[in-house]
Amino acid sequence: MAAAPVHPVPPLKGAAVEMWIYEVSKRLVGYEPHVVCLADEFYPDKEYKDGIFFHRIRFGRVYKRLFQKLTRLDPFSYNDRILGLIREISPEIVHMHNSIKRFTPLIKAVRDGGLSRTMLHVQNEFPVDEPLELDAFTGCSQYIMNHYAGKPIAAAHKFCIYNGVDLDRFRDFRDVPELRDAIRGRFGIKKDDFVAIFVGRVSPEKGVEHFIESASIINKNISEKRGIDGVKFFVVGEVQKGSGDRANYARKQMEMASGLPITFTDVFTPSRIHLIYLLGDVFVLPSNFDDPFPFVALEAMATGLPIVARRKGGLTDYIVDGVNGLFVDEFNPATGIAQKIELLASDKPLRATIGKAGRQTIVERFSWDKIAQEVESAYNILV
């Protein structure tokens, strides 16, 4: 498997594509996985671990400055180095990830040289600037497959292969009450507090403003004796500092949150993020864009949290409103979110029913073991 040169595998911080590669690769049974990715100072360039052969490509400072920044010649590019590994390893399948522009030349080189079968897996909507031919094209949701249906992509096989969750790490909070109490205690959450949690970077496309506005609505209802008392809100994710659009947006959200029962925790490493969901009683996903298949929704549902979300992107592949999640009215997302939070806060049986149904959805459809089996089935068809 080949990742774009963005993060190492396994990722040291939130990186969905690299996490997918790692979690699937270490569960493959019938194939020997080799993972090619960008090097990092915390990892060796070559390593065999978790049943995976890692090949991490390192660019020296002189090379990056001279050939990638100043002259842009890049005579021994990332693709060139992957091609060299392909010739050395002779894999049956070259499985590339989430960069059409980056990997189109590599796909052509592999096919023209008869070196291997080619497979491209995408998690986002990218432009397809030129016709692309390959052996298999896969997407992370039916939403993303529909997006590419009219694009000039000629693939002998097309598969929808979802994202997954490690069910041994993301456990139903009802099964770990002592751990949950301990985690909540560290953040000053009292036993009777009701916590709404958002997980994701604080940026415009994530719709954090709707989450904060819903807190303002609920707080006002409480002050007017019309709401549910003891509701707290947590924003878990990267808060950009400095200058730029994202940093300006983050500052504005923090100003809006001033005086409200909202805590910004900043980012957590992938190794600890499963603990953070234990803070919540409900998970809110207020995205402004059609997120193809957000990991955070799967992780929250695996933890047994009822999910409140906008009806967007890949969520419609598996969330049934009122059964394993709640969709809000698109006319006024913040008001809709506030209403659903208040409903769940006041109705414990409904909260439990939706949370348990969400967990069951993940167990039945989205465990990493199941996703790895689907990947192997696709490989078997190709070879």
Q: Which amino acid appears at position 29 of this protein? A: V
Q: What is the DSSP string of 266-332?
A: E---TTTHHHHGGG-SEEEE--SS--SS-HHHHHHHHTT--EEE-S-GGGGGT--BTTTBEE--TTS
> In the predicted model, what is the mean pLDDT of residues 175-197?
95
pLDDT of residue 89: 97
pLDDT in tens, 7-21: 999 999 878 999 999
pLDDT in tens, 304-340: 999 999 999 999 999 999 999 999 988 899 999 999 9
Of 80, 76, 22, 31, the residue nearest 54 (C-alpha): 22
pLDDT in tens, 95-148: 999 999 999 999 999 999 999 999 999 999 999 999 999 999 999 999 999 999
Q: Which amino acid appears at position 290 of this protein? A: D
Helix (H) or strand (E) holding 177: helix 177-186
- pTM of the full predicted structure? 0.94
Position 176 confidence tier, pLDDT thresholds 50, 70, 90 = very high
Strands (DSSP E) contained in the chain are: 2-3, 34-38, 46-49, 52-57, 93-97, 117-122, 132-139, 153-160, 194-199, 231-236, 262-266, 282-285, 307-309, 326-327
Position 61 confidence tier, pLDDT thresholds 50, 70, 90 = confident
Position 227 confidence tier, pLDDT thresholds 50, 70, 90 = low
Cα distance between residue 22 and residue 105, in whole Å: 24
Position 203 confidence tier, pLDDT thresholds 50, 70, 90 = very high
pLDDT of residue 149: 95
| 50 Rama sector, left if φ>0, alpha if ψ -120 to 50, beta otherwise | left
Inform me whether the pLDDT recorded for 362 exceeds 70.
Answer: yes
> In the predicted model, what is the mean pLDDT of residues 32-41?
97
Position 68 confidence tier, pLDDT thresholds 50, 70, 90 = confident
The full set of domains in the chain, from first to last, is 2-164+367-382 (3.40.50.2000), 173-365 (3.40.50.2000)
pLDDT of residue 166: 97
pLDDT of residue 226: 67
Position 76 confidence tier, pLDDT thresholds 50, 70, 90 = confident
Residue located via tokens 């100072």: 41
